[in-house]
Amino acid sequence: MNTRIKKNILILGGARSGKSSFAQEVASKSGKRILFCATAEPLDEEMRMRILEHKKSRPQGWDTIEAPKGAGRKIGRLLYKYDAVIIDCITILVANSMGDLTKYKEAEKRVDSEIHAIFKCMERKRASIILVSNEVGLGLVPENRVGRAYRDILGRANQQLAAQADEVYFMAAGLALKLK
């Protein structure tokens, strides 16, 4: 029986700040049975190459599921099998879930549903849940309504996840700053 303490961890930061590498390091210390939940879709050649490189960086023996939407529900059915689950990344999951941004309230409800399903996994404490997300509130104000809506909805989702997490880290230049 695994006697490790199960923690829910949120890792925030900018693009290429080291979030995914840090998440993998934390997961490796959480046990041997690791599930990686990938939320990105290879919609173009450049993204396909990014996904391929990301896959290569993961240790052999880890299981992977693809969940561009419905990540929490998919993980919930598998949680009992793992010591740790990485969801990489919430940023893309939120974008995939939003749909038509001209209908802000509907987009917000879809994202709330995704986040609530992840909360259910976090509450079960069967495995450490390690969430990776971009902090998009540090830059310029997006010039268009769609960009501002995305930033606002993702920022709210990050706040909700941080409130539920046992630990929160902010990544910058490959360094982890513990916030909580």
Active site residues: 54
112: which 2 tokens?
Answer: 């709330």
β-strand pairing of 34-38 with 84-88: parallel
CA diameter of the chain: 53
127 phi and psi angles, rounded to 5 deg: -145, 155
H helix and E strand count, the chain:
6, 7
Distance, CA of 93 to CA of 39 (rounded, Å) = 6
β-strand pairing of 167-172 with 34-38: unpaired
Percent helix, strand, coil in the chain, to 5, is 45, 20, 30
Distance, CA of 88 to CA of 67 (rounded, Å) = 10
At 65 the three-state DSSP class reads: strand
